[in-house]
Structure formats: structure tokens, C-alpha cells
Amino acid sequence: MRIAKIKWAMPHCYALIFFIIILVALLTWCIPAAVLIITPVTLPGGETKTLVIPGSYHLLDKVSSEGDLRQGITAVLAAPMEGIIKAADVVAFVLIVGGAFGIILRTGAIERGLVALAERLAGKGILVIPIAMTLFSLGGATFGMSEEVIPLYAIFISLMFALGYDSMTAILILFLGTQIGYVGAMTNPFSVLIAQGVAGIQGNPQLWLRAIAWLVFTLLAIAYTMWYAHRVKRTPQKSPVYENDCRNREQFLSIQDTSVHFSIADRVIIIAFVLALAVISWGLITRGWYMVEIGSVFLALGLFSGIVGRMGH
């Protein structure tokens, strides 16, 4: 009788979240309960901010006449619903922004625009790296571009091979470019705005500081990628993927996508997208916009892109 091996697989993200809820519920049985008293304070500029009263921290009894602070199975099962209800504004914001951006991606305008840009820069050699990485980093910093670049890997690997670089250079341009922008995000709705919502911060008061951080991080990433690209072009054997590239180089160099046509509609959608980001930045800086206003702009952008892109849905 053979005993089948149980193959380990990464749990689904929802399962991981539920495990975290269970862990936190268990911690309520061993971590002391305490409370802080907070109060709204009006700052000199007229802004209202919630602050903690100094010295107000004190411990609480876990079991009292007011109830039991320890969390059981009932609280665990109710936690997902209660969390969604309390964060309804964040959930609605993510759904609207994600849906609007999904419409834009469905039109294919951004993908075709990036391909057209890569083809236009193909004869510029090393300039492809800083220009492309700046655009990808800006996308990550403003609207959370990340997995949207996956369809571009084959195209950029082919482009890097044609310029004398390796496939790792393409990975650095696409992956490092978008992720360094995500780290130095300025208006990314999936990181900055949600975090501000949790912290109770309205508007984007530290936008200038985030812009400086984004610029520094992006310049460092570009400098490293250009140094690496120059190194492997001069001595290809120093590439960590040299042997793999030798096997696959001809296959990638044979890729010719003649079906890509950057149309007028694509240009209109991308221009509208850039204008929407400019309007959002203006609203954050001068009007203290938050999730409702930004979500409205993205919704209008999604509807406009769907109409211009002639989506039949």
C-alpha cells in the first residue's frame, strides 16, 4: 500500500487573512488589555486632528461587568464582516479605482503605448533604460502599476538582447522600475491613500517629501541598472543568466510583433490618463481631496476610456 505524499502549496490569500484573524483572537487571551483616551484637537491652521491625551494609558480587566474582551469563535467569524463594514469607504474606493484601471488595461492602450515607446527608443541604446524606468517608476508611484507590465517582459527581453544586454536587464527595467515607484509612492491609491485613511490623515500633506523620496529611489535604481547593463555588455559571461540567455537568445530575437498598432484612440486614452493624474495631484495639493473625489476622477476616466476604446460591455 502506497501512501500518497501530501504536496505543500501556498495557501490562498483569503486563507492567510483568516489565519491572521485567528492568531489575533488567540493573542487577546494572553496580551494585557489597555486603553488610550483620544480627543479631537484643532491645529493653528484650522485643521482638526485626533491626538492621544498624555498619561491616559491604563490597563483594563479582560472580564468585567461590561463584557469579555477575549475573542472567541463568534468574534472570529464576525470579524471579516465587521471589518468590511468599518472600512466600507476603503473597500468602495479600491473597487472603483481597480475597476476603472481594469477598463483602461482592457483597451490595451497602455500596453501598445509602451511597446511603441520601446520600439522608438530601440536605436538609442543605453537611453532606453533611464527613460523606460522613469516611466514605469512614475506609474508605480502614482497609480500602483505592478503586474500590468507582465505582458511586456518578452518584448523588453528581445529589445535588451538586440541592444547587447541580457534578460536580467529587462527584468530590472520592468520589475525594479515599477516596484521602486511603489516603494516611493506619491499618490498610489493602494498604499498611500489607504494608509492615510487608516491613520485618519486627510489630503496628502507630505506629498513633497514623498516626491523627493521617489526621485532619490528612482535615480539609485536607474544608476544600478545602467551600471549592471554596461557590465554585462562589456563582459557577457558576468551575467548570472548567461547560459540561459545563450539558449534562448535566438528565440527572443525572432519575436516580431507586427500586429501592434498605436492608434489615435490609444493616444487619446493615455492623454486622458495623464490629465486625470494631473487633476488628482492638483486636488490633493490645493483642495485636500480624498477617496471620494479621487474615486470620482478614476470612475470618469474608466467610463471615458471604455467609450473611446469601443469596449462592447
Residues 243-255 pLDDT 10s? 888 888 777 766 5
**Mean pLDDT score, 178-200:** 81
Contact of 137 with 176, CB cutoff 8 Å:
no
* Grid coordinates of 240: 548570472
How confident is residue 3, by pLDDT bands cut at 50, 70 and 90?
Answer: low
State how far the Cα of 101 lies from the Cα of 145, in Å rounded to an integer. 10
Q: Does 19 score more than 50 pLDDT? A: yes
What's the confidence (pLDDT) of residue 242?
Answer: 85
Bridge-partner residues for 154, per DSSP? none
State how far the Cα of 71 lies from the Cα of 118, in Å rounded to an integer. 55
Q: Does 210 score more than 80 pLDDT? A: yes
Residues 57-71 pLDDT 10s? 888 888 777 778 888
Residues 116-158 pLDDT 10s? 777 777 667 788 899 889 988 988 888 777 777 777 787 788 8
What's the confidence (pLDDT) of residue 275?
Answer: 92
Name the least confident of 80-84, 193-197, 234-238, 293-297.
Answer: 193-197
Torsion of CA 75, 76, 79, 81, to 10 degrees: -100
What's the confidence (pLDDT) of residue 155?
Answer: 77
DSSP line for 48-114 = EEEEEPTT--EEE-SEETTEE-S--HHHHHHHHHHHHHHTHHHHHHHHHHHHHHHHHHHHTHHHHHH
**Mean pLDDT score, 22-47:** 84
What's the confidence (pLDDT) of residue 258?
Answer: 47
How confident is residue 1, by pLDDT bands cut at 50, 70 and 90?
Answer: low
